[in-house]
């Protein structure tokens, strides 16, 4: 693992949670989703390319990939159902539940199904599809000429953009989680690997002292795009979930690799032990968002309100996309972060890591 990429994962995971918790100003939330998908394709193609593909190696890769996603997903879903049942809020929809259990919900293009139960598991559903396609893309897409790759990605992007411009608000949100639309981010991440040999030959980038300037430049680019979006939100909204962030996120990833182990102060912060610890928990943090929100709403917020912190607000309507589907104490969303991190650490320490060690010896 490249430490600075892992550090960015930690930052984007926290931004995503705060956005869903209702904290204003989290404009970089969509950039975080793009980052996770692009980084997955980038790192897989850089470290595990499939130039030869056979049935056995494909099966092994799929099983290893599934073992990273399904157990955490099932645990988060069970915890969520138990909490909702205790709170009297659990309603079982057989179709939605079955698609959630199998990680097929993001294919439905139905808002009710895509975001049912644990609404953030759509990401694992989409990421699973990317993993299933990776060996095939690595074997047959990556050996193509760069111009042919760009044409393929360009055509897919235009089709996706036209669809996003034509549908209504709910349809747009559903398309942003649709696997065939989000795999474009993954493919772009894979294509970035081809730029590494070219950039590594640039004399200016070999100078260790340029690391600080290049890192700050990449952060400035990301911030600049965010400011442009804020200024033109109405115009850029339909491209803000993916297209808008491709270039700044690509630059972040390339800078992380080029200056790996010779970082400037930004990279040193990202590579610090606290950031690496948080980065190692990012999947758990992401998947346990709603569990943490419900724990906050039902256990923590009433106590805080009783002693004078915060005040109750009306329950969220079906049109809102908040973290827990209910937000009775919306003035204190920052309290969700520590709850989420503690839950993520417990699950990672006593479930994810032991299970991963066990499965690694059998797959």
Query: Alpha-carbon distance 12 to 271, whole Å?
Result: 15
pLDDT of residue 181: 94
Bigger pLDDT: 52 vs 283: 283
Bigger pLDDT: 188 vs 322: 188
The secondary structure of residue 232, as a DSSP letter, is T
Query: Alpha-carbon distance 12 to 83, whole Å?
Result: 27
- Asked if the model's pLDDT at residue 303 lies above 80, the reply is no
When pLDDT is cut at 50, 70 and 90, the band that residue 327 belongs to is very low
φ, ψ for residue 323, nearest 5 deg: -65, -50
- Asked if the model's pLDDT at residue 48 lies above 70, the reply is yes
Which range in 209-213, 236-240, 296-300 is most confidently predicted, on average pLDDT?
236-240
Q: Break the chain down into helix, strand, coil percent, rounded to 5.
A: 75, 0, 25
Q: Are 225 and 244 in contact (CB under 8 A)?
A: yes
**How far is C-alpha 189 from the chain's CA centre?**
14
pTM of the complete model: 0.90
pLDDT of residue 210: 77
Query: Alpha-carbon distance 298 to 347, whole Å?
Result: 21
pLDDT of residue 96: 92
Which range among 86-100, 113-127, 149-163, 238-252 shows the weakest confidence by mean pLDDT? 86-100
CA dihedral 112, 115, 121, 124 (to 10 degrees): 70
pLDDT of residue 1: 77
Bigger pLDDT: 223 vs 212: 223
Q: Are 289 and 19 in contact (CB under 8 A)?
A: no
Please report, for the chain, the start and end positions of each structural domain, with discontinuous segments joined by +. Answer: 3-360
Q: Are 363 and 61 in contact (CB under 8 A)?
A: no
Q: Are 285 and 70 in contact (CB under 8 A)?
A: no
pLDDT of residue 182: 96
Q: Whole-number mean pLDDT of the chain? A: 87
- Asked if the model's pLDDT at residue 237 lies above 80, the reply is yes
- Asked if the model's pLDDT at residue 262 lies above 50, the reply is yes
Which range in 195-199, 207-211, 314-318, 324-328 is most confidently predicted, on average pLDDT?
195-199
Q: Are 30 and 247 in contact (CB under 8 A)?
A: no
Q: What is the mean pLDDT of residues 6-11?
A: 96
- Asked if the model's pLDDT at residue 254 lies above 90, the reply is yes
- Asked if the model's pLDDT at residue 145 lies above 90, the reply is yes
Q: What is the mean pLDDT of residues 322-334?
A: 49
Query: Alpha-carbon distance 61 to 315, whole Å?
Result: 44
CA dihedral 122, 126, 132, 135 (to 10 degrees): -140
The secondary structure of residue 334, as a DSSP letter, is G
- Asked if the model's pLDDT at residue 308 lies above 60, the reply is no
- Asked if the model's pLDDT at residue 288 lies above 70, the reply is yes
- Asked if the model's pLDDT at residue 329 lies above 50, the reply is no
């Amino acid at each position: 693992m490249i430490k600075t990429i892992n550090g960015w994962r930690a930052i984007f995971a926290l931004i995503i949670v705060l956005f869903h918790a209702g904290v204003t100003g989290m404009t970089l939330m969509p950039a975080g989703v793009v980052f996770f998908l692009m980084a997955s394709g980038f790192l897989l193609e850089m470290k595990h390319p499939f130039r030869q593909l056979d049935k056995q190696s494909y099966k092994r890769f799929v099983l290893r990939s599934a073992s990273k996603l399904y157990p955490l997903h099932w645990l988060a879903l069970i915890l969520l159902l138990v909490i909702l049942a205790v709170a009297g809020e659990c309603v079982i929809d057989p179709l939605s539940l079955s698609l959630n259990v199998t990680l097929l919900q993001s294919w439905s293009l139905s808002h009710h199904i895509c975001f049912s139960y644990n609404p953030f598991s759509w990401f694992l559903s989409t990421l699973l599809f990317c993993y299933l396609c990776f060996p095939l893309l690595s074997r047959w897409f990556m050996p193509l000429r760069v111009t042919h790759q760009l044409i393929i990605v360009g055509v897919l992007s235009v089709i996706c953009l036209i669809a996003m411009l034509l549908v209504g608000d709910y349809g747009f949100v559903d398309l942003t989680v649709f696997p065939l639309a989000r795999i474009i981010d993954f493919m772009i991440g894979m294509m970035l690997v081809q730029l590494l040999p070219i950039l590594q030959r640039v004399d200016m980038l070999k100078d260790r002292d340029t690391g600080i300037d290049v890192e700050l430049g990449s952060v400035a680019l990301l911030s600049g795009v965010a400011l442009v979006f804020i200024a033109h939100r109405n115009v850029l909204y339909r491209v803000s979930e993916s297209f808008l962030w491709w270039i700044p996120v690509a630059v972040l990833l390339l800078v992380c690799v080029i200056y790996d182990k010779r970082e400037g102060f930004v990279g040193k912060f990202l590579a610090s032990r606290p950031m690496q610890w948080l980065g190692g928990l990012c999947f758990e943090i992401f998947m346990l968002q709603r569990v943490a929100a419900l724990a906050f709403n039902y256990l923590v917020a009433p106590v805080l309100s009783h002693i004078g912190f915060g005040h109750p607000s009306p329950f969220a309507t079906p049109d809102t996309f908040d973290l827990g589907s209910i937000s009775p104490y919306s003035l204190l969303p920052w309290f969700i972060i520590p709850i989420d991190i503690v839950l993520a650490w417990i699950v990672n320490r006593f479930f994810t890591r032991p299970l991963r060690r066990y499965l690694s010896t059998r797959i």
